[in-house]
Amino acid sequence: MVPGGLLLLIFTTLHYASGAFVGINIGTDVSNMPSAPDVVAMLKANQITHVRLYDADAHMLKALADSGIEVMVGVTNEEILGIGESASKAAAWINQNVAAYLPSTNITAIAVGSEVLTTIPNVVPVLVPAMNYLHKALVASNLNFQVKVSTPQAMDVIPKPFPPSTATFNSSWNSTIYQILQFLKNTNSYYMLNAYPYFGYTSGNGIFPLDYALFRSLPPVKQIVDPNTLSHYDSMFDAMVDATYYSIDALNMSGIPIVVTETGWPWLGGANEPDATADNAETFNNNMIQRVQNDSGPPSQPKFPINTYIYEMFNEDKRPGPVSEKNWGLFFTNGSSVYTFSLSTSNRITGNSSDFCVAKPNADPGKLQVGLNWACGQGGANCSAIQEGQPCYLPNTYQNHASYAYNDYYQKMHLAGATCDFDGTATTTTANPSYGSCKFTGSSTTTPSSTGGFTPSVAPGPVSPQGGSGTTNLQVLRIQFVISSMFLLLVLL
C-alpha cells in the first residue's frame, strides 16, 4: 500500500501541469454512423484530445490506437448487474475491453453505468461492488494507475443545488453515495458529473436568466450570489459543479476532484422547446470551452480545473423522446459541423513555437475552398494525399483538405516568408495533425526533399492570396500584446 497522501499529491500535480481539457462524448444512436476510422479522422481533424465512449466498442478502440487521444470507456447499465455479482466477470470485462487495447489505445478511465441512481434504481445495490471488482481486476493487471474507475451521476441526485453552499445529496442515497465517494477517494479517482444548465434553465420556469445558463455576463443587479458565502456565480455550470463539491463536503469527504462527463445544449427542438436553438448551442459550447480552458475551478475549489466532455459528437437521431433529445450533436455524419465552434487549444496564445499550419476549425467553407484551390494550384502544395483513395482523403471535408494543403504549402514556403493566414482561415499549431496513415508534411524529422523545387517567385510573398490578411494579423498581434501585458502584470504583482 502506498500512502494515499502521496498519490493524491502526484495526481493533483499532473492535473495542474496538463491544464484543463474539453473532450467529447460519442453516442451511437445514429443513422449512417461513420466508420470508426472516419470518426477518429474527424476527431483528429478537429484536434479533439479526449473522448468518452458509452461502451467498449472494439472497432472504435482499435481505430483509436496510436491516435494520441485519451479514451474513457463505458460499462453499460445492462452490464453492471453481471459484473457487480461476479469478480470473474469483472476480470473478464477488463481483459477483453481494457487490457487488450492498452497501451496503444490510451484508455484512462472506466465510467460504470450512466446515471444509475436516477435511472435504474434496481442496479444500485451492485453498483459499488461492480466498481470494486473492476478496480481489483485493474490492480491484478497492474493497470490501476493508468485507468480510473468512477460512475457518472445526474445533477438530480442533488435536489436543491442552489445556493451551492447548502446543497446536499438526496438523503435517500446517502449510504450508496458515501460508499461511492469512499471508493473514489481510496482509488484516487474522481467524481463524474453530468451537468446540464439547459435542463436547469428550462425546468427553472424563468427563475434564472438565459444569459446565466449561457455563460454570458449579467448586469450587476442580476448577479447570482450565494447568500452564505457571498461567492459570485458567473454561470449555472459553475454553480452546478460547486453544488456537487459542497454536497461531497456535507458527507465529510473532500479532496475528490469533479470531472464533468456530460454537458451541452441542443441546437434544435420542437415547438415547445424554444431554447433549443443553434445560436444558443453555439454560445453555450463556445463559452463553456473558454470557461473550462481558463483552468480555474468553481468558487469553492478554484484550484481544481473542470475537465469536461461535451455532449455530444453526432446528433443521435434514433433516440426516443422530444426533438431536442436527437439534436445535441456538434457534427453531422459527413463531418461538417452543425455550427461554429473551436475545441482547439491552439487559439490560446501560448507563445509561438508553432510547427504546423492548419485550417481553423469551422472557418467559412467558401473561403476554405478558395484557399485550398489556391494552395494546391498556384501555391504549389503537393495535394496528392488528399485525392480520393489516398491516405488523407477522409474525412472528405474542406476543413481537412485545406488543413493538409495549407500545411504542405506552409512547410515548404515559410522560410521564404510565407505566412499561415489564408484570409484568416488558417492557424498554426504545435499539435501534429497527422492521423492513421495520413502524415502531414513536417511531421517527421526528415526535411521535405521537395523544398528546393520551389522558387520564391512561385509564392505570392508573405501575404495570403485573398488580401486583407494584414488586418487579421494585426488583430492577432494586438491580442497577443494585451495578453502578454496581462501576464506581465501578474508577474509584477
Closest CA to 356 of 436, 250, 282, 427: 427
Would you say the C-alpha torsion 340, 344, 348, 354 has a positive or negative sign? negative
How far is 175 from 177, CA to CA, in rounded Å?
A: 6
Give the H or E element holding residue 70. Answer: strand 70-75
Sequence-ordered list of residues with C-beta below 8 angstroms from that of 446, at least 6 positions apart, any chain? none
Report cis status (omega within 30 of 0) of the bond before 85: no
Residue closer to ligand NAG by CB (options 238, 423) is 238
Q: Which three cell numbers stand for residue 197?
A: 444548465
* Residue 192 CB neighbours (<10 A): 25
Instruction: Fill in the DSSP letter of residue 95.
Output: I
Minimum Å distance from CB 465 to ligand NAG?
Answer: 20
Please check whether residue 196 is in contact with residue 161, taking contact to mean a CB–CB distance below 8 angstroms: no
Residue closer to ligand NAG by CB (options 57, 355) is 355
Residue closer to ligand NAG by CB (options 296, 466) is 296
Minimum Å distance from CB 84 to ligand NAG?
Answer: 19
Half-sphere exposure of 106 (CA within 13 A, CB side): 8
How far is 102 from 95, CA to CA, in rounded Å?
A: 10
Minimum Å distance from CB 437 to ligand NAG?
Answer: 10
Closest CA to 466 of 360, 337, 339, 379: 379
Residue closer to ligand NAG by CB (options 30, 83) is 30
How far is 39 from 46, CA to CA, in rounded Å?
A: 11
Minimum Å distance from CB 480 to ligand NAG?
Answer: 7
How far is 151 from 197, CA to CA, in rounded Å?
A: 20
What distance lies between CA 96 and its chain's CA centroid?
Answer: 26
Residue closer to ligand NAG by CB (options 44, 89) is 44
Residue position matching grid coordinates 434504481: 121
Four-point Cα dihedral 139, 183, 239, 164, nearest 10: -170
Q: Which three cell numbers stand for residue 120?
A: 435504474
Q: What is the distance between the terminal CA atoms of the chain, rounded to a whole angstrom?
A: 42
475 phi/psi in degrees, rounded to 5 = -65, -45
Please check whether residue 151 is in contact with residue 220, taking contact to mean a CB–CB distance below 8 angstroms: no
Residue closer to ligand NAG by CB (options 88, 232) is 232
Sequence-ordered list of residues with C-beta below 8 angstroms from that of 483, at least 6 positions apart, any chain? 349
Residue closer to ligand NAG by CB (options 252, 272) is 252
Minimum Å distance from CB 385 to ligand NAG?
Answer: 4
Minimum Å distance from CB 139 to ligand NAG?
Answer: 18
Minimum Å distance from CB 316 to ligand NAG?
Answer: 15
How far is 238 from 302, CA to CA, in rounded Å?
A: 11
Residue closer to ligand NAG by CB (options 86, 336) is 336
* Residue 352 CB neighbours (<10 A): 8
Minimum Å distance from CB 170 to ligand NAG?
Answer: 4
Q: Which parts of this chain interact with ligand NAG (CB under 6 A)?
A: 68, 70, 103, 106, 108, 159, 168, 170-172, 174, 234, 238, 250-252, 291, 294, 296, 332, 334, 336, 352, 382, 384-385, 450
Q: Which residues carry out catalysis?
A: 115, 262
Minimum Å distance from CB 270 to ligand NAG?
Answer: 19
Minimum Å distance from CB 14 to ligand NAG?
Answer: 7
Please check whether residue 142 is in contact with residue 99, taking contact to mean a CB–CB distance below 8 angstroms: no
Residue closer to ligand NAG by CB (options 83, 117) is 117
How far is 69 from 52, CA to CA, in rounded Å?
A: 10
149 phi/psi in degrees, rounded to 5 = -115, 135
Four-point Cα dihedral 376, 379, 380, 384, nearest 10: -20
Residue closer to ligand NAG by CB (options 174, 203) is 174
